[in-house]
């Protein structure tokens, strides 16, 4: 009996020895940059195992390498702390080999980057920051230019300031300006490309389609009433203020 217990103890120690701090190279979310990991597995089931010690240890190592690789390829090497948490939690789950009886085990790992991978991450971050600045400046320039050129007066100033401006064509400029500014007016900065902004644009076009002052008063009155019915008295008051301002701005005697 004692010899059997000793044999089981030796077998388990042999398996554990082959599963202590074995290394693995893992892919990251960035092609060409990988993690290096040391994994230690703990077998939870008692011997005898359904196979030689080296085969059992090899099967456990293969299973854990594949499991670590599945999750590491989604991790950002620039965020090593998060990658350690994600991979550690994933490998910490109990697993089993499909043997009879099954061999159950868990694992822990230490995750790091080799010097070359650290240098590659630093180079990548520098390039990303440089590109982000370039993209931001380009977007800001585009948004500012589009906003300016959506105003016919601003576009006309641009045309007049040209060295080769032909003043004889000035009579045909307003019609062309309207077409060009309409194109720029449809441009919206990225933070304005939302349903709310589109809804405001639709509402503006709708209100502008009723040029008659009486119609405008009716529309603003309905708008204020609708906001009040929706229990938005603050907005209703603002709409009413717009109505009052519009009424005050109308020429005296206009019907």
Q: Domain boundary residue among 85, 113, 141?
A: 113
pLDDT at 66 over 60: yes
Task: Select the more confidently predicted residue: 193 or 21.
Answer: 21
Task: Select the more confidently predicted residue: 235 or 68.
Answer: 68
Whether the upstream peptide bond of residue 162 has omega within 30° of 0, thus cis, is no
Whether residue 124 lies inside any domain: the answer is: no
Whether residue 70 lies inside any domain: the answer is: yes
Q: Which residues of 201-238 are buried (b: 16+ CB within 10 A; e: fewer)?
A: eeeeeeeeeeeeeeebeebbeebbeebeeeeeeeebee
* Percent of the chain with pLDDT strictly greater than 70: 84
d(CA 11, CA 15): 6
Q: Are residues 205 and 102 part of one domain?
A: no
Sign of the four-CA dihedral 27, 29, 34, 35: negative
DSSP 77: T
DSSP 250: S
Confidence tier at 155 by pLDDT (50, 70, 90): confident
Task: Select the more confidently predicted residue: 137 or 161.
Answer: 137
Q: Are residues 103 and 6 part of one domain?
A: yes
Mean pLDDT of 121-134: 95
Angle (CA) 120 125 130, round 5°: 130
- Average pLDDT in the chain: 84
Whether residue 79 lies inside any domain: the answer is: yes
CATH of the domain at 86: 3.30.479
In this prediction, residue 71 carries a pLDDT of 96
In this prediction, residue 242 carries a pLDDT of 77
d(CA 243, CA 251): 15
Burial degree of 176 (CB within 10 A; 0-12, 13-18, 19+): middle
| Total domain count, the chain | 2
In this prediction, residue 252 carries a pLDDT of 40
Q: Domain boundary residue among 113, 132, 165?
A: 113
pLDDT at 245 over 80: no
pLDDT in tens, 164-198: 767 666 566 667 777 777 777 766 666 666 777 77
Whether residue 216 lies inside any domain: the answer is: yes
Whether residue 177 lies inside any domain: the answer is: no
Query: 220: domain range?
Result: 194-255
Whether residue 217 lies inside any domain: the answer is: yes
pLDDT in tens, 95-105: 999 988 899 99
Q: Domain boundary residue among 94, 113, 132?
A: 113
In this prediction, residue 163 carries a pLDDT of 72
In this prediction, residue 251 carries a pLDDT of 46
Whether residue 82 lies inside any domain: the answer is: yes
């Amino acid at each position: 009996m004692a010899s059997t217990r000793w044999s089981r103890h030796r077998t388990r120690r042999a398996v554990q020895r082959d599963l202590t701090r074995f290394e693995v190279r893992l892919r990251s979310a960035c092609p060409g940059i990988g993690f290096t990991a040391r994994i230690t597995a703990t077998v939870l089931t008692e011997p005898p195992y359904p196979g030689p010690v080296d085969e059992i240890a090899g099967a456990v190592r293969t299973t854990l390498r594949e499991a670590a690789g599945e999750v590491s390829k989604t991790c950002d090497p620039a965020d090593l702390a998060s990658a350690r948490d994600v991979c550690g939690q994933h490998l910490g789950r109990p697993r089993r080999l499909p043997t009879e009886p099954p061999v159950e085990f868990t694992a822990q790992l230490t995750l790091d980057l080799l010097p070359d991978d650290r240098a590659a991450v630093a180079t990548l971050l520098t390039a990303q920051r440089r590109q982000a600045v370039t993209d931001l400046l380009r977007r800001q320039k585009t948004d500012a230019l589009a906003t300016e050129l959506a105003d016919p007066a601003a576009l006309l100033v641009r045309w007049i300031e040209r060295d080769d401006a032909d003043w004889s064509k000035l009579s045909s400029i307003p019609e062309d300006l309207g077409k060009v500014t309409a194109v720029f007016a449809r441009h919206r900065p990225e933070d304005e490309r939302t349903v709310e902004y589109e809804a405001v644009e639709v509402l503006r076009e709708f209100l502008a389609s009723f040029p008659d002052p009486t119609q405008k008063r009716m529309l603003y009155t309905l708008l204020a009433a609708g906001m009040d019915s929706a229990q938005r008295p603050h907005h209703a008051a603002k709409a009413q203020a717009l109505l009052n301002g519009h009424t005050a701005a109308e020429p005296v005697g206009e019907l």
